[in-house]
Amino acid sequence: MILAFVTLQSLGLHADQASQVKKAIERSTLNQPSTKPFHLKATIAPSFERDKDAGRTGEVEIWWSAPDKWRREVRSPEFHQIEIVNGAEDWQENEGDYFPEWLRETSIELVNPVPNVEDVLRHAKDAEVHQFHVQTKKGPMSQINLDWITETGTPEVKNIQRSGVALNPDTDLLLYTNGFGWGAEFKDYQKFHGLMVSRTVSHGTPEVTAKVVVLEDLGRVPPGFLDVDPKAEGSKPMRTELINEVALRRNLHPTGPIVWPPLQDGVLEGNVTSWILVDQSGAVREMDGIVSENSAINDAGRQAIMGMRFEPFVVNGMPVQVYSQITAPFKTTRPAGRENFDSARNYFARGRKVSFPSGAGKPYVVKAEFQFRGKDGKVETGHYEDTWLRDERWIRRAEFEKSHCVRSRNGEERFRSVDGDQAAVFCLVLKMIEPIPALDTFYESDWRVKRDTLNGISAVRVLTGYESPAGKLDPTARSYWFDDSGVLLKTHTNGIETLRSEFQEFNGTRIARRIDVLKDGQLAMRINITDVSLSGELPAKAFELKGHEWQRAFTDEAR
């Protein structure tokens, strides 16, 4: 297992990283003034065999001279569009009664991976940032993930939109992007006049993959090919507007209450969320994924959302398509004789009380050693110590040689000291030892609960985020497994898993003496608790780090 160690970091975005994100976006964006004129052609097909009958096949062909002078042709089984942009003129010819959103977004992602760079960089300043160093068969690979949340929904029903950007800092290339009305996964980069352009772009749910089969200099085109012919028939535009859910619901026709089926497992109350395309007539034509607190409700939610009707949306006197998030609250019952689960909040509160020494409410000292792979490839051993007197007086530190991450609290004052080139790894140690999120950083409706089996042990799993039908968790999903007494057994957050074992009793709590941290199934770190003992009273100055005062921002760390 030691030989499989990968390295991990959890860090904050700073100016250099912001510029690195911007550089990665610009380096792979074809649609910018400095780009040499090009001709691009791509074929689109479902990424997975299971979706072969989804009807998501097509072609995109672009003749591009400048950001404001280009011609694009997109085609799918039910839709065909020719669009010519020449300065302020924008002419379209469309065959078909709606422009599929998966086709529209894929055609954009091929030339513009992040349509609104400034908006992304603004949100990225407050994003959660994680860096991974993975030792693969081809050598070491790095990855930086930036994830942020935007509050959405309506005043009556709150919701969120998760967005993110991932890049390889060693190559300054995007790995994937995700946001409202944009986002894809990017692979197979190849050079094109100083740019690195992804030749394989995957997008949507069900997912499609666009393969670039032609990317060449524009060369000569027929006279007038990029011009709007003044003798041509009038443009028949088909526009898609991105709107929020409040604006969407203003045009929603009255509907009867949704009849929700009883659920055998998981939570009984929450939200069904999807991203929908409403056509020019007001009909829902497309759903891009569906997320809920209980996946067993998804089919009923899908039928209810697809059955919604809207008053046609009009912009500047012209009917338009709209793309938006939609939220359908559900509340149902359990079939007779089935288990009724507690709330996610209570599982987290109980888990914190019975799984960690602070739950006993008595002063303690915890000491641990953690093994990790350093930047030189060697497996090293760092040291962790946690001294806790009460909720408002404690200090935690993880360190190795000249690097450390220390956090403390003394009354209302909080402190944080991070120093050394390995410090980000050690901040992750603090989070992996106490991974349960703070109760003031999530909506109960984001979470769903179900019964699961973990290594032969009956467990309750609390989950938020996407889970595939095969049970694979999305990298942005978060999941926590508790035994029937409430003890935390396993976690999955930001693509990192922790497995907790070798439990020891301490003042009525059960503390994991061993914590294995895994990334992509490989052991990234092993934490061994070497000592847990009662602590005597200490002076207040022992919990102060002068010059390192810290204000808690939006973080899910409980301390």
We report the CATH number of the domain holding residue 516 as: 2.50.20.10
- Neighbouring-strand partners of residue 449: 462
Structural domain includes residue 559: no
Q: How far is Cα 31 from Cα 65, in angstroms, rounded to an integer?
A: 10
* Last residue within a domain, chosen from 183, 217, 251: 217
The answer as to whether 536 is a domain residue is yes
- pLDDT (tens digit per residue) in 396-416: 999 999 899 999 999 999 999
Q: Which of 346-360, 363-377, 503-517 has the lowest mean pLDDT?
A: 363-377
Which residues are within 8 A (CB) of 233 and not within 5 positions of it... i.e. 6 or more apart?
93
DSSP state of 422: T
Of the listed ranges 27-36, 373-382, 509-518, the least confidently predicted one is 373-382
Report the share of the chain in percent with pLDDT over 90.
Answer: 67
Residue 342 inside a domain? The answer is no
Query: For residue 295, is pLDDT > 90?
Result: no
Do 495 and 376 lie in one domain? The reply is yes
| 83 & 203 share domain | yes
**Number of separate domains in the chain:** 3
* Average pLDDT for 376-403: 93
Distance CA 88, CA 106 (A): 24
User: Does residue 364 have a pLDDT over 70?
Assistant: yes
Same structural domain, 78 and 142: yes
Highest mean pLDDT out of 100-104, 169-173, 414-418: 100-104
Give bridge partners of residue 329 from the DSSP assignment: 271
- Pair (18, 127) in one structural domain: yes
Q: How far apart are CA 44 and CA 61, in angstroms?
A: 11
524 and 387 together in one domain:
yes
Confidence of residue 234 (pLDDT cuts 50, 70, 90): low
Which pLDDT score, from 0 to 100, does residue 439 have?
81
Mean of pLDDT over the chain: 89
Q: Domain check: are 444 and 511 in the same one?
A: yes
Give the per-residue pLDDT at 11.
Answer: 45
Model confidence pLDDT, tens digit, residues 15-54: 566 788 899 999 999 999 999 999 999 999 999 999 999 9
Q: Which residue has the higher pLDDT, 228 or 372?
A: 372
CA torsion sign for 500, 502, 503, 504 is negative
Same domain, residue pair 319 and 450:
no
- Residue 14 pairs in a beta bridge with none
Residue 94 has pLDDT above 60, yes or no: yes
The pLDDT value given to residue 341: 79
- Round to the nearest angstrom and report the end-to-end CA distance of the chain: 31
CA pair distance 420, 86, nearest whole angstrom:
53
> In this predicted structure, what is the pLDDT of residue 7?
44
**Where does the pLDDT of residue 207 fall: very low under 50, low under 70, confident under 90, or very high at 90 and above?**
very high
Asked whether residue 549 is domain-assigned, the answer is: no
Q: Could you say which of 315, 331, 347 is where a domain stops?
A: 331
Please give the residue range of the domain that contains residue 125.
Answer: 2-217
pTM comes to: 0.68
Mean pLDDT of 194-207: 96
| DSSP single-letter state for residue 474 | P
As a whole number, mean pLDDT of residues 455-476 equals 86
Residue 507 has pLDDT above 80, yes or no: yes
pLDDT for the residue numbered 139: 66
Q: For position 12, what pLDDT does the model report?
A: 47
Assigned domain for 474 exists: yes
* Shared-domain flag, residues 211 and 284: no
Residue 443 lies in a domain: yes
Question: For the residues 278-285, what does the mean pLDDT come to?
Answer: 97
Question: What value does the mean pLDDT take over residues 102-109?
Answer: 97
264 and 209 in a single domain? The answer is no
